[in-house]
């Protein structure tokens, strides 16, 4: 009848884990710790809520729990022996012991009964409790039901006489029942579930049924001569059923006899203990001294960690220290230090104590000045937790444990959620004092050890999980590795070398992140600004600058995978960067009618991508295309009849692209002012769609003569390419045999043949647009499993010089490389492949030689470059090694060289003037001798690299050990960043695959610390404008990069009084000296406070290898630090700058007047001679452009165009560039 009584009715469950779907926890996430009640619940396995309620009742019965724990291994055996055939192991009580130990000691919100239920027998031969079953129907309460059962007599008389067995006749009689012996614990089941024989259905009795908190069973017992206390029972558990007779949910109200839990209500804990409206004098709340005293008085020994003190302050007054008091009183620790007569901080400032002398004074002050405030802070917790007469009741609902008040039990007298079982215990049962609030009381030692180990493991797992959940990965984009063109930021070399990944804790502040990046980027100079960036189709765009160094990353909403741009906040590569969402660059497809060589519009529509800021006026499209005036149409994608074009009125041309609703990928159609020959007019009316262009132009490139060079083939977007090819062969009147061995290839705007189009595709599938030009070429198009690739030799690829190849997409990189080498007539194993990137430069190498082209995402039309040099294995680097001699002669190494008659290889020598090494005779050139390449693992240390470099054949010196070598990176053909840390792995330096290293010999071993800065000091010769030989000085910056510290260190080196020297830093690129002593602190615009005295920042940007000039004021007291060579160098710089200005002016005058000055023109000859399809005119970081747009094609077609360009006096290949139309690659002169 009650077959599914204990099944879960999920529709009626209010606060448990079984709500239709079980709660899923992450596999790697450890169980949650106990909540504020400090009690554990039991997880619901599905329909086990009744069992959970019974187990919690047994657990909170201390006598039963301790009796269970008293059973040792002799009586129960061991769980480790349960699988042994001869072992006698009582699994059920052992598992019950473990469960009770977990409920007492394991720091989990809820424990599992899976191990218990796996071995649990649902019936038992033993009963520890006497179960009384009482009626609920037509009974007002428990005492009324017991009275009916054990006091009232049933009389047998009249027609209902009793048959006496002894006298064998019917007699009058009376029948009654009494309780003969009372147990220590009494279980009472309430018959809530009945059967209606009239309706033939089950139902739940929900009428009011009262039960007392304390009951006297003396009237119901057979023996009544004992003391009344022997019959008194106290209620300690109520199992409650919520739902109907066909299903529901069980939870239990339990009295915490031993006070194991924290009986504090969540609503009191969550809201501030102090209501500001209840305080009469607001000035008393504004006094942090009084608040902190009150908090410390509540703590045991008046001691608390400083971090928890701030948290308790937040809970007490509802506002944090930083928001309430920091501006007036400073940080919390500083406030505690200032009031040392009241607060005592520990040596490490982690904990704070209230001094004994001040604690009594504080208490009296609080009671006298603000008695109401003190009562609010202290009295309530004492009332709730420390009053012995107040029973602690908890509602345990599977995994959830909540405190309740005793009066809440009355709510379970009636209704759908009402009492189902009652548990009473004798009032005389007393608990020992040592059991109070002691969950370890009488728990077996082996279970204590097991729970302690489990808690340690949980702490470790939670710490790991907390670190994982609060750790985010940031993508750092370094400003010096980017340049700005086409309206967005693009990497100078490659994306991998321009972006660094940093794993960081999001709970740390923005200031901590900035400091970590400073330590990571040892080469950084000047101010560092962090901005949130995002990738858009045009490139990288800076959206928002991050401010507030004291804010946590989670507070400023920095998420995992965020792109952070690291720069100086103003410019990148000398160009000011627009920031913000308003000026986000848009990549638009601009369509306009092509212009013939005579300057007239022809019947061909050209589409080219252009980038515009979102907040720019839409009329700037005319300027970008060098069209004086015309009409702009935008694509209406919301049109039902397909794509259509809407004309923008002239008055709306001043609206921005964003206001017009244009997005990335939107199309813009430009109609010139001359409409006579336009394709966009038809019978004097504007057409609605560009699909009216229904032809393709096919050129004869088959090397066979034909009557016409090109023909127009009528087609639609659904026309198959094969049909167009056959029609073109017929109209060009070519041989029919060409149909078996020919293909159609698109022709781009620069006349380059693109990848062949498969015959089976339609024009729409092939991505061809009406009005496009196709070339009829010999050879078959690649199949669906083949790739058509361009390839070229070397990284300097001239347009039109690429070779072509068709290979299977499943071919490996090694086999593809071999085929390309055979086609070029080359042999050898010292070649590798690189894919040309979107900047038309060599990208990352294809390192996995056994990988298939398809796996590496190589597509038809891609260009691969054959680069000489064998790639190192995965995890290895090929590092070019150079020998660096900063002082001309080899000094002490020269003597050794003379003895051994050895010379350095002079096969490759770099010389760069004005290096940090020497500003005088010393403006001497820095020489780098090439020693060779090293192939070394990324896991190798810097010391191992030095050791291998010592074995190179070109190095003919005898070096005692690697510690006698100093390593630098090579940047711009001169030493750059100093590599410190002899045992540090190479991958930790973030060297990159193109890094070169130079080695400098030392006279003695060197082991630089993390705070040591290497400087080259030179003493100025008295009476001469020259300096003595350089001296290496190690400066310890652990106490700061201050000018006074540096002056003291230099004075110590030269044994001079610090007040009798002057020092200056040398800037070799400007041939200028900047005195350090005359530096004054500067103020920033954003923060009206002085910068810290830090020589790392502006204007010095001090770093390893810088030259410091020293002047002895005892013999020379003038302010001049410069030399004769500096004067000569500055004059040369002026001449170079003046020559550039003259060339730019002459070139501007030679250009046609109609494009100057309003048209955006790139002044580089290679842009003028060879514009690219996407207008990437500023690929060279040394170029100078007015605006990032190439010269209009109409100007390039002028007959006199080449004569307008000046001849470069330095570029030896300029004539070749002008003649062949190739891009100028000369390093000696870039326009």
Dihedral sign, CA of 68, 74, 76, 77?
positive
Q: Are 538 and 585 in contact (CB under 8 A)?
A: yes
pLDDT (average), residues 1135-1144: 81
pLDDT(708) > 50: yes
What pLDDT sits at residue 867? 87
The string over 533-567, giving b where at least 16 C-beta atoms fall within 10 Å of a residue's C-beta and e elsewhere, is beebebbbbbeeebeeeeebbeeeebeeebbbbbb
- Taking Cα atoms as reference points, which of 945, 980, 1220 lies closest to residue 1105? 980
Select the highest-mean-pLDDT range: 76-90, 628-642, 774-788. Answer: 774-788
The residues that are catalytic are 49, 249
Please check whether residue 1191 is in contact with residue 1167, taking contact to mean a CB–CB distance below 8 angstroms. Answer: yes
Alpha helices in 521-652 (DSSP H): 620-625
Of all residues in the chain, what percent carry a pLDDT higher than 90? Answer: 15
Q: What are the pLDDT digits (tens) for 635-683?
A: 765 444 445 678 888 888 888 888 888 888 888 888 766 544 444 433 3
The two tokens of residue 811 are 């071919």
What is the C-alpha separation between 670 and 605, in angstroms, rounded?
Answer: 10
pLDDT reading at 1077 higher than 60? yes
pLDDT digits (tens, 9 = 90+) for 503-548: 898 888 998 898 888 888 877 777 889 999 999 988 999 999 998 8
The confidence score (pLDDT) of residue 1157 equals 39
Per the structure block, which two tokens stand in for 1202? 């080449």
| Mean pLDDT, range 836-863, rounded to an integer | 84
Look at 117-121, 172-176, 900-904, 996-1000 and tell me which has the smallest mean pLDDT: 900-904
Q: How far, in Å, are 330, 344, 345, 512 from residue 326 at the CA level?
A: 4, 20, 19, 20
Contact present, 616 and 584 (Cβ < 8 Å): no
pLDDT at 369: 45
CA 562 – CA 477 distance, rounded (Å): 11
Residue 408, pLDDT > 70, answer yes
The tally of CA atoms less than 13 A away on the side-chain side of residue 852 is 10
Predicted confidence at residue 690, as pLDDT, reads 42
Q: Residue 540: which of 531, 551, 550, 529 has the closest Cα?
A: 531
The predicted-structure confidence for 118-132, as pLDDT tens digits, reads as follows 776 544 344 444 578
Residue 953, pLDDT > 90, answer: no
Please determine, for residue 79, whether its predicted confidence score (pLDDT) is greater than 60. Answer: yes
Query: Minimum mean pLDDT among 279-293, 420-434, 1055-1069: which range?
Result: 279-293
The pLDDT tens digits of the residues spanning 1012-1050 come to 899 999 999 988 889 999 999 999 888 788 888 899 999
3-state secondary structure labels for all residues of 110-141: EECCHHHHHCCCCCCCCCCCEEEEEECCCCCE
What is the three-state SS of 808-876?
ECCCEHHHHHHHHHHHHCCCCCCEEEEEECCCCCEEEECCCCCCECCCCCCCCCCEEEEEECCCCCCCE
Q: How far is CA 739 from CA 101, 388, 699, 788, 1093, in A?
A: 87, 104, 15, 20, 79
* Residue count of the chain: 1231
Query: Does the pLDDT of residue 16 top 70, yes or no?
Result: no
pLDDT tens sequence across 315-368: 788 788 887 888 788 888 888 887 877 888 876 677 888 875 554 454 445 444
* Distances in whole angstroms, Cα of residue 491 to Cα of each of 483, 488, 662, 1227: 6, 10, 27, 20
The Cα 1173–Cα 246 span in angstroms is 75
pLDDT tens digits, one per residue of 596-606 = 555 555 556 67
For residues 131-144, average pLDDT: 87
Contact by Cβ (8 Å): 1220, 1162: no
pTM: 0.45
Region for 1071 from its dihedrals, namely left if φ exceeds 0, alpha if ψ lies in -120 to 50, beta otherwise:
left
Query: Which pair of tokens denotes residue 951?
Result: 């074995």
pLDDT for the residue 234:
93
Contact 505, 543 (CB under 8 A): no
CA distance 1166 to 1151: 15
pLDDT of 417 > 70? The answer is yes
- CB-CB contact of 406 with 213 (8 Å): yes
Helices 62-69/49-59 angle, 10° precision: 80
Could you give the C-alpha distances from 405 to 37, 382, 384, in angstroms and in order? 14, 16, 10
Task: Name the residue with higher pLDDT: 993 or 400.
Answer: 400
Can you give the pLDDT at residue 597? Answer: 53
What pLDDT does 774 receive?
A: 92
pLDDT at 326: 80
Q: Each residue of 880-890: pLDDT tens digit?
A: 999 887 753 33
Q: Is the pLDDT of residue 114 over 60?
A: yes
**CA quadruple 148, 153, 158, 163: dihedral, nearest 10:** 120
Dist CA 1062 CA 831 (whole Å)? 56
Token couple for 1168:
């003028």
For the chain, give the mean pLDDT. Answer: 76
Is the pLDDT reported for residue 284 higher than 80? no
CB distance 930 to 909 below 8 Å: yes
Which long-range contacts does 728-734 make (Cβ < 8 Å, 24+ apart)? Answer: 728/698, 728/774, 728/776, 729/776, 732/698, 732/700, 732/706, 732/707, 732/708, 732/776, 733/706, 733/707, 734/700, 734/702, 734/704, 734/706, 734/776
Give me the mean pLDDT over the 167-179 stretch.
85
């Amino acid at each position: 009848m009650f077959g599914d009584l204990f099944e879960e009715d999920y529709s009626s469950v209010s606060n448990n884990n079984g709500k239709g779907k079980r709660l899923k926890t992450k596999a790697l996430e450890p169980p949650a710790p106990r909540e504020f009640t400090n009690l554990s619940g039991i997880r619901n396995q599905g329909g086990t809520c009744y069992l959970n309620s019974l187990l919690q009742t047994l657990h909170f019965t201390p006598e039963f729990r301790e009796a269970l724990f008293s059973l040792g291994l002799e009586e129960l055996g061991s769980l480790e022996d349960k699988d042994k055939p001869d072992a006698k192991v009582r699994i059920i009580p052992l598992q019950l012991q473990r469960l009770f130990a977990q409920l007492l000691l394991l720091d989990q919100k809820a424990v599992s009964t899976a191990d218990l239920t796996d071995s649990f027998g649902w019936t038992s031969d033993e009963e520890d409790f006497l179960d009384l079953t009482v009626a609920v129907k037509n009974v007002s309460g428990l005492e009324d039901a017991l009275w009916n059962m054990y006091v009232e007599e049933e009389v047998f008389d009249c027609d209902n006489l009793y048959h006496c067995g002894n006298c064998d006749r019917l007699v009058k009689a009376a029948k009654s029942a009494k309780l003969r012996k009372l147990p220590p614990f009494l279980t009472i089941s309430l018959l809530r579930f009945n059967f209606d024989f009239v309706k033939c259905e089950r139902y739940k009795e929900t009428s009011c049924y009262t039960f007392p908190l304390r009951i006297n069973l003396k009237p119901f017992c057979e023996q009544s001569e004992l003391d009344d206390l022997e019959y008194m029972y106290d209620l300690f558990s109520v199992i409650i059923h919520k739902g109907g007779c066909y299903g529901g949910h069980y939870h239990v109200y339990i009295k915490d006899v031993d006070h194991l839990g924290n009986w504090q209500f969540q609503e009191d804990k969550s809201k501030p203990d102090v209501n500001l409206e209840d305080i009469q004098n607001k000035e008393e709340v504004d006094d942090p001294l009084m608040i902190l005293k009150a908090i410390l008085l509540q703590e045991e020994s008046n001691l608390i960690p400083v971090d928890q003190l701030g948290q308790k302050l937040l809970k007490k007054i509802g506002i944090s220290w930083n928001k309430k008091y920091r501006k007036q009183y400073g940080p919390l620790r500083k406030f505690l230090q200032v009031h040392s007569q009241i607060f005592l901080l520990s040596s490490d400032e982690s904990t704070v104590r209230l001094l004994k002398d001040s604690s009594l004074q504080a208490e009296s002050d609080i009671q006298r000045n603000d008695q109401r405030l003190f009562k609010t802070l202290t009295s309530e917790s004492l009332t709730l937790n420390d009053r012995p007469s107040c029973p602690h009741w908890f509602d345990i609902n599977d995994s959830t444990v909540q405190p309740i008040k005793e009066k809440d039990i009355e709510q379970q007298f009636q209704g759908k959620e009402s009492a189902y079982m009652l548990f009473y215990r004798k009032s005389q049962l007393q608990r020992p004092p040592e059991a109070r609030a002691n969950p370890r009381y009488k728990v077996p030692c082996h279970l204590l050890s097991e729970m302690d180990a489990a808690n340690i493991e949980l702490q470790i797992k939670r710490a790991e999980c907390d670190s994982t959940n609060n750790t985010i990965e940031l993508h750092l984009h370094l400003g010096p590795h980017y340049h700005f063109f086409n309206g967005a930021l693009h990497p100078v070399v490659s994306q991998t070398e321009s972006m660094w990944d940093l794993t960081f804790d999001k709970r740390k502040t923005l200031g901590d992140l900035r400091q970590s990046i400073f330590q990571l980027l040892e080469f950084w100079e000047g101010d560092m600004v962090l901005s949130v960036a995002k990738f858009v189709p045009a490139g990288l765009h800076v959206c928002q600058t991050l401010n507030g160094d004291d804010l946590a990353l989670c507070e400023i909403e920095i998420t995992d995978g965020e792109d952070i741009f690291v720069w100086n906040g103003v410019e990148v590569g000398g160009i000011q960067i627009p920031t913000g969402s308003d000026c986000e660059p848009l990549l638009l497809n601009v369509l306009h009618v092509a212009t013939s060589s005579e300057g007239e519009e022809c019947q061909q529509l050209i589409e080219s991508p252009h980038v515009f800021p979102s907040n720019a006026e839409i009329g700037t499209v005319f300027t970008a295309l060098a069209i004086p005036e015309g009409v702009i149409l935008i694509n209406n994608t919301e049109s039902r009849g397909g794509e259509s074009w809407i004309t923008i009125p002239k008055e709306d041309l001043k609206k921005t692209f964003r206001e017009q609703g244009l997005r990335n990928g939107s199309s813009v159609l430009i109609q010139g002012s001359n409409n006579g020959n336009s394709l966009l007019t038809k019978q004097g009316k504007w057409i609605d769609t560009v699909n009216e262009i229904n032809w393709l132009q096919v050129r004869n490139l088959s090397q066979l003569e034909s009557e016409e060079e090109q023909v127009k083939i009528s087609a639609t977007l659904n026309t198959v390419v094969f049909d167009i090819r056959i029609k073109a062969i017929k109209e060009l009147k070519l041989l029919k045999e060409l149909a078996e061995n020919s293909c159609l290839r698109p022709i781009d705007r620069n006349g380059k043949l693109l990848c062949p189009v498969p015959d089976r595709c339609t024009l729409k599938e092939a991505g061809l647009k009406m009005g496009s030009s196709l070339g009829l070429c010999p050879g078959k198009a690649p199949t669906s499993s083949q790739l058509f690739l361009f390839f070229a030799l070397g990284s300097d690829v001239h347009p039109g010089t690429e070779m072509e190849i068709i290979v299977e997409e499943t071919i490996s990189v090694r086999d593809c490389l071999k085929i390309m080498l055979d086609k070029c007539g080359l042999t050898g194993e010292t070649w590798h492949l690189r894919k040309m990137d979107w900047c038309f430069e060599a990208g990352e190498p294809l390192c996995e030689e056994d990988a298939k082209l398809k796996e590496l995402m190589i597509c038809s039309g891609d260009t691969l470059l054959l680069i000489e040099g064998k790639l190192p294995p995965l995890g290895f680097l090929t590092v070019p090694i150079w020998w660096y001699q900063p002082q001309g002669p080899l000094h002490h190494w020269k003597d050794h060289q003379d003895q051994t008659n050895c010379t350095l290889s002079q096969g490759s020598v770099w010389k760069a003037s004005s290096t940090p090494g020497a500003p005088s005779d010393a403006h001497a050139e820095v020489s780098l001798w090439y020693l060779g390449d090293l192939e070394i693992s990324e896991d190798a240390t810097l010391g191992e690299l030095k050791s291998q470099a010592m074995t190179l054949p070109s190095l003919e010196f005898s070096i005692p050990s690697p510690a006698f070598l100093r390593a630098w990176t090579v940047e711009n053909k001169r030493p750059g960043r100093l590599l410190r840390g002899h045992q540090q792995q190479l991958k930790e330096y973030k060297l990159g695959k193109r890094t070169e290293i130079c080695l400098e010999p030392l006279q003695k071993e060197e082991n630089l610390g993390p705070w040591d800065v290497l400087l080259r000091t030179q003493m100025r010769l008295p009476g001469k404008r020259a300096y003595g030989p350089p001296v290496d000085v190690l400066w310890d910056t652990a106490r700061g990069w201050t000018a006074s510290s540096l002056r003291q260190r230099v004075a110590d080196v030269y044994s001079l009084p610090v007040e009798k020297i002057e020092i200056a830093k040398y800037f070799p690129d400007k041939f200028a000296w900047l005195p350090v002593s005359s530096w004054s602190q500067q103020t920033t615009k954003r923060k009206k406070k002085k910068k810290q005295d830090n020589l790392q920042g502006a204007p010095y940007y001090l770093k390893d290898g810088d030259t410091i000039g020293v002047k002895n004021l005892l013999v020379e007291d003038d302010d001049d630090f410069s030399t004769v060579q500096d004067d000569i160098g500055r004059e040369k710089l002026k001449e170079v700058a003046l020559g550039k200005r003259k060339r730019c002016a002459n070139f501007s005058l030679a250009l046609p007047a109609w494009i100057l000055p309003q048209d955006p023109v790139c002044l580089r000859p290679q842009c003028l001679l060879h514009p690219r399809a996407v207008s990437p005119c500023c690929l060279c970081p040394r170029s100078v452009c007015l605006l990032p747009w190439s010269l209009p094609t109409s100007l390039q077609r002028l007959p006199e165009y080449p004569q307008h360009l000046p001849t470069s006096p330095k570029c030896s290949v300029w004539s070749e560039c002008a003649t062949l139309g190739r891009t100028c690659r000369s390093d000696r002169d870039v326009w």
